[in-house]
């Protein structure tokens, strides 16, 4: 059964690659030179050094970290998360003079300091914008300090939390001179950006000038199902044998390091060079993507469980302190998937709250649920990749159809792997820099395929 599924995936993938090749040939977009064709490798490695956009280093821009405390929130944070009691953390990089401001929202499990958020800081500060980076609503710092429920994933409620703290952040910086507001997000942060923009149409606190969504899932639930399976289907012998997979991985890194003493293990090109030399199988790489996602979902499950005293993995009323060993809970929560969270925490909670059934709640996590808004607004642009592995077959076309004339879809890049590539950075920056009635010109400067 497993083999058949894998074969199916491989065939779909092959079909996808063929389709992409032909699509590109017909559109003349052959000069996109992001160097990693494999979707999984691109997702893991990102952009190799020689291909990155030339930008100032993060340490060379005036990025400052701040904390925002909502009255009353801090007292309710359990002691085991004592380090989150300082408030919601975010980064502001400010220009000295009046400038447009870009809000950036992080993807699943990522904080305002993730490398992709630092990329936004560097690129947009360099282009003359103020930049504010905000944690994903799926990380503990946000869940505990800024969320009404600490049960993330409901895009509309997450957007309300985000919108509220974006307003509070601006109140914290009355000295900042802002000419207009823009919004960007990647992965789940892109979905959040869409819902925040939609909320802003009613609330009008920011009147966003432009919004960009980078590699959003079409339907959050479909994508987490796929990511859960990437791990569970690809560990030989099943999850009980994860340790063997892990030992193998470490041994491979170890061997490669031994054979190549000249490449620092900490350098970003270590993985790229290892990938080119060793050609790991797709199954191995899928499993690795699955691992990264599993770590995020385990974090989320533990935090929501403790913060809400759910009795999900941690028995109700359990006393955890700043020095309690959490090792057993880390092992336990990593055996559950994001789908378990959706079915056993998310759906029951929002079912009680709204009366909606599972199908309706799952539908709410889809961009299709705000189709009318997305297709009609002209302020939101999409940047995506044909081979994004978090999407199910056919979903990329559905996403494209939501952004008529506003979708830039690159042939390669996997899930967010090409964000640092110079063409992509140019495209993002130019999109926001160009005047609002000048969008068509922006599209034509690039080599991707404009849909």
Partner 1 sequence: MINTIIQKLISRRLYFVVLAVVLLPACSAVQPVVPEDAPEAMHPVKELVKDDVEYAIDIYDPFEGMNRNIYIFNAQLDEYVLIPVVNTYTTYVPSLLRQGVHNFFSNIATVTDILNSGLQLKGDKTLNNSVRFVSNTTIGLLGVFDVATGMGFPQQKEDFGQTLGYWGAGEGPYLVLPFFGPSNLRDTTGLITDSLVNTYFLDEVGLNYDSGWEFFYYIMLGIDTRAAIPFHYYESGSPFEYETLRLLYTEGRKVLIAD
Name the site residues for partner 1 (rule: CB under 8 A): 59, 80-81, 83-84, 89, 109-111, 113, 135, 139-141, 240, 242-243, 246-247, 250, 253-254, 257-258, 261-262, 265, 295-296, 298-299, 302-303, 310-332, 335-336, 340, 344
d(CA 99, CA 115): 24
- DSSP label at residue 138: T
Q: Which CB sits closer to partner 1, 36 or 139?
A: 139
Least Cβ distance, residue 231 to partner 1 (angstroms): 14
Residue 167 contacts residue 205 (beta carbons within 8 Å): yes
Least Cβ distance, residue 200 to partner 1 (angstroms): 26
- DSSP label at residue 366: B
Instruction: Please identify which residue in the block is written with the tokens 């079409």.
Output: 218
Q: Please list, in sequence order, all residues whose beta carbon lies within 8 angstroms of the beta carbon of residue 392, skipping any fewer than 6 positions away.
A: 218, 222, 223, 226
Q: Which CB sits closer to partner 1, 311 or 404?
A: 311
d(CA 299, CA 208): 32
Q: Which CB sits closer to partner 1, 38 or 111?
A: 111
Least Cβ distance, residue 196 to partner 1 (angstroms): 20
Least Cβ distance, residue 141 to partner 1 (angstroms): 7
d(CA 50, CA 33): 12
What is the arrangement of strands in the sheet containing 178-186, beginning at the earlier edge strand?
63-68, 88-93, 130-134, 99-105, 178-186, 210-214, 380-385, 407-410, 449-450
Least Cβ distance, residue 346 to partner 1 (angstroms): 14
Q: Which CB sits closer to partner 1, 67 or 178?
A: 67
**CA dihedral for 351, 354, 360, 364, sign (positive or negative):** negative
Q: Which CB sits closer to partner 1, 89 or 379?
A: 89
Q: Which CB sits closer to partner 1, 72 or 315?
A: 315
Q: Which CB sits closer to partner 1, 80 or 342?
A: 80
d(CA 183, CA 189): 10
Q: Which CB sits closer to partner 1, 55 or 381?
A: 55
d(CA 363, CA 219): 7
Q: Which CB sits closer to partner 1, 168 or 295?
A: 295
Residue 323 contacts residue 314 (beta carbons within 8 Å): no
Least Cβ distance, residue 25 to partner 1 (angstroms): 42
Q: Please list, in sequence order, all residues whose beta carbon lies within 8 angstroms of the beta carbon of residue 196, skipping any fewer than 6 positions away.
A: 105, 159, 162, 163, 166, 183
Least Cβ distance, residue 302 to partner 1 (angstroms): 5
- DSSP label at residue 315: P
Q: Which CB sits closer to partner 1, 254 or 436?
A: 254
Residue 304 contacts residue 345 (beta carbons within 8 Å): yes
Q: Which CB sits closer to partner 1, 141 or 191?
A: 141
Q: Identify the three-state secondary structure at position 12.
A: helix
Least Cβ distance, residue 427 to partner 1 (angstroms): 28
Least Cβ distance, residue 252 to partner 1 (angstroms): 10
Q: Please name every residue paired with 99 in a beta bridge, in sequence order, or none if there are none.
A: 178
- Of 277, 245, 247, give the one whose Cα is nearest residue 262: 277
d(CA 145, CA 275): 40
Least Cβ distance, residue 274 to partner 1 (angstroms): 12
Least Cβ distance, residue 62 to partner 1 (angstroms): 10
Phi then psi for 124, rounded to 5 degrees? -80, -30
Phi then psi for 89, rounded to 5 degrees? -90, 140
Q: Please name every residue paired with 384 in a beta bridge, in sequence order, or none if there are none.
A: 409
d(CA 320, CA 59): 37
């Amino acid at each position: 059964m497993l083999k058949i599924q894998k074969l199916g995936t491989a065939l779909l993938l092959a079909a996808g690659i063929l389709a992409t090749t032909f699509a590109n040939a017909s559109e003349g977009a052959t000069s996109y030179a992001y160097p990693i064709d494999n979707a999984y490798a691109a997702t893991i490695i990102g952009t190799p050094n020689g291909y990155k956009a030339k930008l100032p280093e993060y340490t060379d821009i005036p990025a400052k970290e701040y904390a925002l405390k909502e009255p009353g929130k801090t007292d309710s944070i359990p002691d085991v998360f004592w380090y989150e009691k300082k408030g919601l953390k975010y980064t502001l990089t400010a220009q000295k003079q009046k400038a447009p401001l870009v809000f950036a929202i992080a993807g699943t499990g990522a904080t305002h300091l993730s490398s992709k958020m630092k990329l936004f800081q560097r690129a947009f500060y360099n282009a003359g914008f103020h930049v504010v980076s905000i944690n994903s609503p799926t990380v503990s710092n946000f869940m505990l300090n800024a969320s009404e429920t600490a049960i993330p994933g409901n895009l509309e409620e997450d957007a309300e939390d985000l919108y509220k703290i974006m307003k509070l952040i601006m109140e914290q910086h009355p000295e900042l001179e802002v000419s207009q507001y823009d919004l960007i997000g990647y992965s789940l942060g892109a979905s959040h950006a869409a819902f925040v923009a939609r909320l802003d149409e009613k609330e009008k606190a920011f009147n966003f000038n432009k919004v960009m969504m980078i590699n959003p899932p079409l339907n959050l639930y479909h994508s987490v199902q796929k990511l859960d399976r990437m791990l569970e289907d690809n560990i030989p012998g099943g999850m009980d044998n994860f340790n063997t997979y892990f030992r193998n991985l470490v041994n491979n890194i170890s061997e490669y390091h031994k054979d190549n003493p000249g490449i620092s293990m900490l350098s970003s090109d270590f993985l790229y060079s290892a990938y080119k030399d060793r050609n790991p199988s797709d199954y191995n790489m899928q499993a690795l993507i699955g691992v990264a996602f599993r770590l995020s979902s385990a974090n989320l499950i533990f935090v929501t469980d403790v913060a809400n005293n759910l009795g999900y993995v941690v028995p109700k009323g359990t006393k955890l302190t700043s020095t309690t060993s959490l090792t057993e809970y880390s092992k336990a929560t990593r055996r559950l998937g994001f789908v378990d969270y959706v079915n056993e925490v998310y759906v029951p909670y929002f079912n009680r709250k709204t009366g909606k059934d599972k199908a309706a709640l799952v539908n709410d996590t889809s961009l299709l649920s705000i189709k009318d808004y997305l297709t009609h607004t002209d302020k939101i642009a999409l940047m995506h990749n044909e081979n994004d592995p978090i999407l199910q077959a056919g979903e990329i076309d559905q996403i494209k159809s939501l952004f008529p004339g506003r979708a830039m879809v690159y042939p390669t890049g996997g899930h967010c792997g090409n964000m640092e590539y110079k063409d992509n950075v140019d495209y993002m920056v130019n999109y926001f820099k160009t005047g609002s009635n000048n969008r068509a010109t922006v599209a034509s400067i690039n080599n991707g395929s404009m849909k």
